Amino acid sequence: MYKVIFVFAVFMMGLNSSYASHRLYLKKVYSLYNSTGSYILTCKFYSNKVEITENTGTASSLRVEPTAFSGSTLAPLIRSASSRSLLSAPFNVCDGGSLWTRAYRANGTSFTLKKFEDCGQTVKTRSGIAARTLRNIVERYCFSK
């Protein structure tokens, strides 16, 4: 009986560590469409890596980069940022593309850190130091052209 419990406990620990390494913490999508074509940049942040995909409409590339942070660094920032308000301001940049950056809670639900779309729309930015820190981490690894 104890062997079965021990094997089950080891199995569950393996699942938890596997989940932690595959858990999505942050995601950014930047897209630009103009007369020369399209450009889409997608970045997915996990506990130990960032997957960066660039798509130009005719070609696509994926690169994976190790990070200087861990899930244990991001999780408290995400918890703190989720309680802050989303501020809106005019966005008068035209032909600048659209962007959204989201943070993912441990339960898989997400919330907006930053979002802007077309000319004449509003830019929405999550307030607070934790949200700003998360946006800075995203931009460090995944900057828009």
Domain ranges of the chain: 22-141
β-partners of residue 125 are: 87, 114
pTM for this structure? 0.79
Task: Tell me the pLDDT tens digit for each residue of 61-106.
Answer: 999 999 888 888 999 999 999 999 999 988 777 767 788 999 999 9
Cβ atoms 113, 136 nearer than 8 A: no
Judge contact between 46 and 28, C-beta under 8 A.
Answer: no
What is the reported pLDDT for 15?
38
CB 134, CB 125: distance < 8 Å: no
Coil, strand, or helix at residue 67? coil
Domain 22-141 belongs to what architecture?
A: 2-Layer Sandwich (3.30)
Closest CA to 138 of 80, 99, 95: 99
**Partner residues linked to 103 by β-bridges:** 26, 111
